[in-house]
Amino acid sequence: MFLQQLVNALWLGSVYALFALGYTLVFGVLDILNLAHGAVFMWGAFFGLMAVTRLDMPIWAALLVAMLGSGVLGIVLDRVAFRPLRKRNAPQLAAIISSIGASTILVSLAQGAFGAQVSRFPLDALPSQVFITGPVRVTLIQIIVFVASVVLMIALLLFMRRSRSGKAMRAVAYSGRISALLGINVDRIIVTTFFVSSALAGASGVFLGLAFSAISPFMGAPIELKGLAVIILGGLGNVPGAILAGFLLAATEVFGVAYVSSDFRDAIAFTVLILVLLFRPSGILGTAVERRA
């Protein structure tokens, strides 16, 4: 049983990590809590679902459509909800409000378009293969999501470290004002950030839509809270930190269920989170730079 639970923890961890990748990016670069990320994630799942069911696309093409669609949605989100606040030099807390407003709108639009009912990808979108090795069972989609989260993480890290835009992003994350002085087009970098972050959200929407048959306008809310915990636990905008935190949270949850009690799963997970923060007040891999809320 232990081995299977370990697989379960790795699996759930890759789910959290996948969701957190894009989430932590906006958080790190712009230092805002974007509570509309879950809504973009949900739209990503629907973009993918529509591509498969209405346009008869294969699943890999649907994934691209979802990433593109969510990426554009992210840019729109920035234009409507965040850019006007930046222009007015608004306090960071203001972004929470406009992201809540944007999230409400996006969820209601989805409910209007697709109804509140839960839907799923067609059964044949992906073979429902189960691999059995000894005491452990793994499904194809679990392997795909695990690999995808690792690949996307590496791609994102390379992008941040090697590419011009990525380097500029890190500069903007450090200080928008200094970046502007250095001749970086801050506005363009922010648009890029939103695009990349939202495209990642869209990708995780499709992957998790395939993994769990629970696509609905409200699918973003439960994972948003977990995602928030993960990106903060990982350290502000720290991509490897978020991945690590995702696996840590998942392990706490899975082994909490396995060896303590499923009743107290979330209480155990959040208690561990608070304790970790008391010892690492800036997150697991966060640097001790103090920022204001």
Partner 1 sequence: MKPRRFALLLLVVLSLLAAACAPPATQAPADQPTVQEPAAEPTAESAAEPAAQSSGLSGEVVVGCAHALSGPIAIYGEPIRNGIMLAAKQINDQKLLGDATLSIVCEDTAGDKAQAINAFQVLINQDKVVAILGPTLSNSAFAADPVAQEAKIPVLGSSNTAAGITDMGDYVFRDSLPESDVIPNTILVTKDKLGYSKVAVMYGNDDQFTKSGYDVFAEALASSGTEVVATETFAKGDTDFSAQLTKIAALEPEALIVSALAEEAANIMIQARQLGLDVPIIGGNGFNSPKLAEIAGPAAEGAISGAAWNIGNPAPENTAFVEAYRAEYGGDPDQFAAQAYTAAWLMATAIKNAGSADPAAIRDALAAIKDFPSPLGTYSFDENRNPVHTPVVLIVKDGQFQVFE
Partner 2 sequence: MPPFLNDLWLVYRSVFEFALIGSALGLSMYVVLRTGLLSLASAGFMAIGAYVGALLTIHLHVPLLVSVLAGALAAGGIGLLLGLPVLRLSGVYLAIATIGFGEVVRVFMLNIDSVAGRTITGGALGLNNIPRKTETWHLVLFVAVLIYLFIRIDRSRTGRAFDAIRQDHHVAASMGIDVVRYRNLAFLLSALIAGAAGVFSAHLTYFVSPNEYGFNGAVRILTFAILGGYLTWLGPIVGAFLLTFLPELLRFLGPYRPIVNGVVLILAIIYLPRGLVDPRFWRKTLRRRSPPPPAAPLETSG
Binding residues for partner 2, rule: CB under 8 A, are 33, 35, 80-81, 84-85, 88-94, 96-98, 100-105, 107-109, 112, 221, 225, 228-229, 232-233, 236, 263-267, 270-271, 273-274, 277-278, 281-283, 290-293
The site partner of 292 among partner 2, partner 1, none (C-beta below 5 to 8 Å per kind) is partner 2
Alpha-carbon gap, residue 219 to 205, rounded angstroms:
9
Encoded one letter per residue, x for contact with partner 1 by CB under 8 A and - for no contact, window 189-218 reads: -------------------x--xxxx-x-x
Asked if 262 interacts with partner 1 (CB under 8 A), we say yes
Pick the closer one to partner 1 by CB: 5 or 282.
Answer: 5
50 lines the binding site for partner 1 (CB under 8 A): no
Question: Residue 147's binding partner, choosing from partner 2, partner 1, none, with beta-carbon cut-off 5 to 8 A by kind?
Answer: none
Q: Which amino acid is at 207?
A: F
By beta-carbon proximity to partner 1, the closer residue of 8 and 70 is 8
Residue 171's identity, in one-letter code, is: A
User: What are the Cα distances from residue 161, in Å, to 167, 243, 246?
Assistant: 6, 17, 22
Among 50, 265, 270, 277, binds partner 1 (CB under 8 A): 265
Q: How far is Cα 179 from Cα 114, in angstroms, rounded to an integer?
A: 42
1 binds, among partner 2, partner 1, none (CB under 5 to 8 A by kind): partner 1
Contact (CB, 8 A) for 29 and 190: yes
Q: 124, exposed or middle or buried, with CB in 10 Å at 0-12, 13-18, 19+?
A: exposed
Residue with tokens 């991509």: 239
| Side-chain-facing half-sphere of 68: CA atoms under 13 Å | 7
Nearer to partner 2 by Cβ, of 24 and 192: the residue is 24
Residue closer to partner 1 (CB basis): 41 or 237: 41
Which residue in 46, 34, 204, 33 sits closest to 113, CA to CA? 46
Alpha-helical (H) ranges within the chain are: 2-30, 37-53, 59-77, 83-87, 92-114, 140-162, 164-174, 176-181, 186-211, 220-234, 239-259, 265-279
Candidates 56, 117, 278, 279; binder of partner 1 (CB under 8 A) is 117
Q: Exposure of 17 by Cβ count < 10 A (0-12 exposed, 13-18 middle, 19+ buried)? A: buried
* Cβ distance to partner 1 smaller for residue 76 or 277: 76
Q: Rounded CA gap, 267 and 251, in Å?
A: 14
Q: Return the one option of partner 1, partner 2, none that residue 12 interacts with (CB less than 5 to 8 A, by type).
A: partner 1
Which of 131, 264 has the CB closer to partner 2?
A: 264
Number of residues this chain uses to bind partner 1 (CB under 8 A)? 50
- Residue pointed to by tokens 């695990």: 146
For partner 1, which is the closer residue by CB, 262 or 287? 262
Q: Binding residues for partner 1, per CB under 8 A?
A: 1, 4-5, 8-9, 11-12, 15, 76, 79-80, 83-84, 87, 105, 108-109, 111-113, 115-120, 123, 128, 130, 132, 137, 139, 208, 211-214, 216, 218-219, 221-222, 253-254, 257-258, 262-263, 265-266
